[in-house]
Amino acid sequence: MNSVRLWYKKSGLAIYTSHLDMNRCFTRAVRMAGIPLWYTEGFNPHPYLNFLLPLPLGTGAEKDPIDIRITEDISFDEIKSRLNAVLPGGIEIVAVTEPAIKVSEVAKAGYEIILEFLTPEEACAFAAGALAVIESGELNAEKRSKRGIKTVNLCSFVSSFDASSEGGRVKIKAVISAGPAENLNAALLADSLLKEFGASAEKTEITRTEIFTADGKIFI
Amino acid sequence: MYPEKLEKFLLKVQKPGRYTGGELNSVIKDKREVDIRYAFCFPDTYEIGMSHLGMKILYALVNAREDAWCERVFAPDTDMEAVMRENDIPLYALESGEAIKDFDIIGFTLQYELCYTNVLNMLDLAGIPVRSENRESLTPLIIAGGTCVCNPEPMADFFDITLPGDGEEVTNELIDLLKEFKKQGKGKKEFLEAAAQIPGVYVPSLYKVEYNDDCTVKSVTPTCGAPEKVVKRNVKNLDTMFAPETFVVPFIETVFDRTTVEIFRGCIRGCRFCQAGFLSRPLREKSPETVFSQCKAICDSTGYDEISLCSLSTSDYKGLEKLLGTLIPWGDDNKINVALPSLRIDNFPKDLMEKLNTVRRSGLTFAPEAGTQRLRDVINKNVYEKDILSTCAQAFAGGWTAVKLYFMIGLPTETNEDIEGIARLAQAVVDEFYHMENKPKGKGVSVSVSLASLVPKPFTPFQWEPQDKPDVLTEKQDFLVSCVRTRKVNISRHVPWTSFLEGVFARGDRRLCSVIETAWRSGCRMDSWEEHLDREKWNAAFEQCGIDPFFYTARARSFDEVLPWDHMDYGVTKKFLQRENEKAHRGETTQSCREKCSGCGAARLNGGECNELCAAVV
Ligand code: SF4
């Protein structure tokens, strides 16, 4: 049995697919691709397929990891090309690797958030305002967790933040907490910033660009 | 694809994956290279529509033609409808994202009467007048098929054409004709008159309906050369019939997340309340070889890990043993589950049951339908209490602890004793568990009783029967609940008002068209969802149109009354149905077709042949 890490890109129509649905979609794709998945044992065996950092509905990803276990040797190139032949549009395998870092070490993730406004002035003001708010170290929002809804300071989840505008578009690059221990949904950050200024974006696009460990190493 | 304008709203609606398209295996064509664009409309939500086999068949069938492109359309949920109306986004097809009002054919499938308002709503969202008479140009042609078109009259003013029976052949014939007429630049009236000459095509506007003073139908007269009787289409050979080798695989979870392969059409049983059983006669089977190769092809192209074999009564399939002999080992090797819905327990071989268990333990369900043997004889449901109990005993011994029982109330000749019988039977199943010698420690049994209400349907022996009014049904439900003495039995009941409305349309006539339109205009839609069903609006619509809905449900009809659907011919004769009705009232059962042909009349659709008759002769 070999552990394999699949890296997929999620964009376009596929961003409207929820995490649960992604799971089913990949299970089917792996079957169709004839990749011999290892099945869990027990009463109701199911294929082992683990999305390391579930993506919320509406958020895309440049390169997100899924761990699988296979029972036969197949080359990484073969896995990649067979899967890409059967995955629906918007979901693509960009790399297949051996898992190098344990999932428990995931601590942060980088996001690109694009917000489109009606006017360049609005965009420019929002970018400056957003920077100032994060700088101030206080942005309170209601955050849902397993223990219910709580008001928290989102700034304590932010490791780095940059916002710039070009025409009516604001581009935010942010590294925020991610992983099983502490996780912030990038959409919540974007919405809270908009709310802070009573602004609304015509269009919001969020993409996870990379994943980091606690000491800032890129997760591989 | 979806229209660009929609993008910024998609994350604001529930389950946006319903509206995006782009699923695996969806068919994209170059619109400049096709002659006919076909919008297949399912008048309910995406999750329900995508689970429907008929849609998958038609989609593949039309797309197999080079000259046509079939796309899918579903009813948007109310939140999405609001977004579309507020932002002037017309109803679009999921493949191209283009508005369907410019398509050539808009075809609905009618599976359930409570979806009728959704049809009007979808046409309106598309920007198309709902009434046939207000649509002057040849295209888009609005057509419908599916079970409910056996009585198309309540929707007669809206559809240009309905297609009773199997759609596989007639759809192609209709597309060919439309292509021809489009090319010649001919008009809608000419086209409809020509289409009416194709067997199995019903053009409601070519029939004149007259009524008696008591509001019953006096006569239905064809005009412009349309046939007196529209005979449903019947595909003779299921092995050579078109069957899809691939399905669109949804991103989001649907009602049935699996592949479905049909094994036969028709039914040998003749349960007297069951419309599907009579509408789909005569019995026609696919060979096990065909079924197996279709199962393989579909699993390969979709990646699904569950196959459901589909028919009205799986265990009556003659090739079942042979099929499972190849299907189950193949499923084991490929980690594919085989599900057999509609199993009857009375004739299911025990060793087959065991074979299946190794693949999947699905719940144990029985459909006795009525609580006493007397009433089961009335409805011709030949299931016996002792068989149910012995199968349960077997299953309990094998570790099962949950049983589901399906019953119906409101059956002809029903008394309190019959209703009590439901509680008694459920109790007997519970007792069977506790009488078991080595019952598992610490485990209890649970028996769930699902309680539906009879809706008398056209083309069944009960088509003349009065239907219980909602308050009577509620009383009967309450009475049953009061008869249950244990918490091991849990009863879930259908909403009587839903059955009532279903009953009105099932046996309705053309005068209901205006009621449906009025109700829809006042805001009724998604009536099959209890949270949306608005009784006050419906009552107001009946009143406004001067129509007493109980005329259609609560009234006993006489055998010589002209029924609104008498000009449809589904093979089974009115005489046969009358005979069955009379036998029901005498409490006599009818043998299954496998034992003895009872001369239902359907064989005539197959050139005098019926699978079952042949078998009897050999
Ligand atoms: S013709 Fe006879 S055998 Fe065939 S479906 Fe009708 S009753 Fe059954």
pLDDT tens string B207-221: 999 999 999 999 999
Average pLDDT over residues B604-610: 81
User: Are β-strands B141-145 and B105-109 bridged in parallel, bridged antiparallel, or unpaired?
Assistant: parallel
A25 and A45 assigned to the same domain: yes
- Average predicted confidence (pLDDT) for chain B: 92
Distance separating alpha carbons of residues A49 and A5, to the nearest angstrom: 10
Average pLDDT on B578-584 reads 97
Whether A25 is in a domain gets the answer yes
Domain contains B220: yes
Predicted confidence (pLDDT) per residue in B251-291, tens digit? 888 887 788 899 999 999 999 999 999 999 998 999 999 99
Residues of chain B positioned with their CB less than 8 A from the CB of A90 = 22
pLDDT in tens, B409-454: 999 999 999 999 999 999 999 999 888 877 767 778 899 999 999 9
A108 in the same domain as A209: yes
Give φ, ψ of B514 to 5 degrees: -70, -30
- Give the burial string for B231-269 (b: 16+ CB within 10 Å, else e): bbbbbeebeebebbebbbbbbbebebbbbbbbbbbbbbb
**Same domain as A123, residue A61:** no
The structure tokens 């049995």 sit at A1
Run means of pLDDT, 10 residues per run, chain A, 220 residues:
93 90 89 86 77 92 94 92 92 94 91 94 93 90 82 91 94 93 91 90 93 91
- Using a CB cutoff of 8 Å and minimum separation of 24, what contacts does A76-83 make? A76/A4, A79/A4, A79/A6, A79/A33, A79/A35, A82/A33, A82/A34, A82/A35, A83/A6, A83/A29, A83/A30, A83/A33, A83/A35
User: Which atom in ligand 1 lies closest to the alpha carbon of residue B281?
Assistant: 5
Question: Domain boundary residue among B553, B576, B610?
Answer: B553
Residue B613 belongs to some domain of the structure: no
Which pLDDT score, from 0 to 100, does residue B55 have? Answer: 92
CATH number at residue B161: 3.40.50.2300
Which amino acid, residue B132?
Answer: S
Q: Do A16 and B23 touch (CB under 8 A)?
A: no
Nearest to B460 by CA among B574, B360, B373, B609: B574
Q: Where are the beta strands (DSSP E) in B377-525?
A: 402-409, 446-453, 489-493
Single out the residue in A54, A77, A100 at which a domain terminates: A100
Q: Is residue A218 part of a domain?
A: no
Evaluate whether residue A171 is within a structural domain: yes
Through-space distance between the first and last CA atoms of chain B, rounded to whole angstroms: 55
Instruction: Look at chain A and report how many structural domains it folds into.
Output: 2
Residue contact B1–A13, C-beta within 8 A: yes
Which CATH number is A43's domain given?
3.30.70.580
Who's near B212: CB < 8 A, 6+ residues apart?
B218
Secondary structure of B487-554 in HEC code, one letter for each residue: CCEEEEECCHHHHHHHHHHHCCCCCHHHHHHHHHHCCCCCCCCCCCCCHHHHHHHHHHCCCCCHHHHC
Domain identity same for A82 and A149:
no
pLDDT digits (tens, 9 = 90+) for B130-171: 999 999 999 999 999 999 999 999 999 999 999 999 999 999
Question: CB neighbours of B322 closer than 8 A, spacing ≥ 6?
Answer: B288
B605 lines ligand 1 (CB under 6 A): no
Enumerate the residues of chain A whose CB falls inside 8 A of the CB of residue B21: 13
Same domain, A162 and A194: yes
Closest-CA distance, B358 to chain A, in angstroms, reads: 11
The tens digit of pLDDT for each residue in B381-412 reads 988 898 888 888 877 877 778 888 999 999 99
Check whether residue B82 and residue B203 sit in a common domain: yes
**B278 shares its domain with B339:** yes
Question: Token pair of A88, please?
Answer: 């629906």
In a domain, B266, yes or no: yes
Q: How far apart are CA B348 and CA B356, in angstroms?
A: 11
For residue B389, is it within any domain?
Answer: yes
Domain count for chain B, please give it.
2
A74's CB contacts (< 8 A; 6+ apart) are: A35, A36
Shared-domain flag, residues A113 and A84: no
3-state class (DSSP) for residue B91: coil
- Beta bridge partners of residue A172, listed in sequence order: A113, A163
| Residue B143 included in any domain | yes
Q: Note down the domain range covering B300.
A: 259-511+547-553
Ligand 1 closest atom vs CA B576: 7
Q: What is the ipTM of this complex?
A: 0.81
The model's pLDDT over B173-186, given as tens digits with 9 standing for 90+, comes to 999 999 999 999 99
Verify that B54 and B161 share a domain, yes or no: yes
As a whole-number percent, the residues of chain B with pLDDT over 90 amount to 73
How many CB atoms within 10 Å of residue A32?
A: 21
Residues in contact with A41: Cβ distance below 8 Å, sequence separation at least 6, in sequence order:
none
Chain B residues close to A28, C-beta within 8 Å: 24, 249, 302-305
Confidence of residue B362 (pLDDT cuts 50, 70, 90): low
pLDDT of residue B617: 45
| Secondary structure of B300-345 in HEC code, one letter for each residue | HHHCCCEEEEECCCHHHCCCHHHHHHHHHHHHHHHCCEEECCCCCC
Residues of chain A contacting B251 with CB distance shorter than 8 Å: 13-14, 16-17, 21, 25, 88
User: Looking at A70, A100, A130, which one is the last position of a domain?
Assistant: A100
Which pLDDT score, from 0 to 100, does residue B360 have? 44
Which residue range forms the structural domain that includes residue A161? 104-213
A106, A219 Cβ separation under 8 angstroms: yes
Whether A170 and A192 map to the same domain: the answer is yes
**Cβ atoms of residues B558 and B504 within 8 Å:** no
Q: What is the dihedral of CA B338, B341, B344, B345, to 10 degrees?
A: 50
Q: Which of B10, B301, B335 sits opposite A39 (nearest CB)?
A: B335
Q: What is the pLDDT of residue B246?
A: 87
Residues of B in CB contact (< 8 Å) with A are: 1, 7-8, 10-11, 16-17, 20-24, 249, 251-253, 257, 300-305, 335
Instruction: Assess whether A58 and A120 both reside in one domain.
Output: no
Q: Are A32 and A110 in a shared domain?
A: no
Is residue B588 one of the residues assigned to a domain? no
Residues A121 and A192 in one domain: yes
Under 8 Å CB pairs connecting chains A and B tally to 66
pLDDT (0 to 100) of residue A94: 96
Asked if A11 and A90 sit in the same domain, the reply is yes
Same domain membership, residue B281 and residue B197: no
**Which of B269, B278, B283, when mutated, tests ligand 1's pocket best, judged by the most ligand atoms within 8 Å of its CB?**
B283
The CATH number for A160's domain is 3.30.70.3190
The tens digit of pLDDT for each residue in B467-481 reads 999 999 999 999 999
CA of B599 to the centre of ligand 1 (A): 6
**Minimal CA–CA distance to B381: which of B273, B460, B264, B282?**
B273
Cα distance from A33 to chain B (closest Cα, Å)?
Answer: 8
Domain edge (last residue) among A72, A100, A128: A100
Answer yes or no: is the C-beta of B573 below 6 A from any ligand 1 atom. no
Which residues of A have a CB under 8 Å from any CB of B?
12-14, 16-18, 20-21, 24-25, 27-32, 39, 45, 57-58, 86-90, 202-204
- Residue B544, amino acid: Q
* H or E segment and range at residue A160: strand A158-166
* Strands, E assignment, B420-473: 446-453
Whose alpha carbon is nearest atom 4 of ligand 1?
B610
Same domain, B209 and B266: no
Nearest CA to ligand 1 atom 5: B282
Higher-pLDDT residue of B614 and A88 is A88
Asked whether residue A139 falls in the same domain as residue A93, the answer is no
Q: Cα(first)–Cα(last) distance of chain A, in Å?
A: 20
Between these two residues, B4 and B465, which has the higher pLDDT value? Answer: B465
Cβ atoms B527, B505 nearer than 8 A: no
Q: Which of A173-177, B113-117, B366-370, B465-469 has the lowest mean pLDDT?
A: B366-370
Question: Is residue A80 a part of any domain in this protein?
Answer: yes
Measuring CA to CA, which residue among B440, B411, B461, B486 is closest to residue B582?
Answer: B461
> Does the residue B611 lie in any domain?
no
Q: Which 3 state secondary structure label does DSSP give A111?
A: strand
Q: Render pLDDT for B8-58 as a digit per residue (tens, 0 to 9).
A: 889 889 999 999 998 889 999 999 999 999 999 999 999 999 989 999 999
Which CATH number fits the domain that encloses residue B441? 3.80.30.20
Task: Give the integer Cα–Cα distance in Å for B257 and B245.
Answer: 17
pLDDT confidence bin for B354, thresholds 50/70/90:
low
Exposure b/e, B188-202, CB count within 10 A at least 16 = b: beebbbbbbebebbb
Q: Whole-model pTM?
A: 0.91
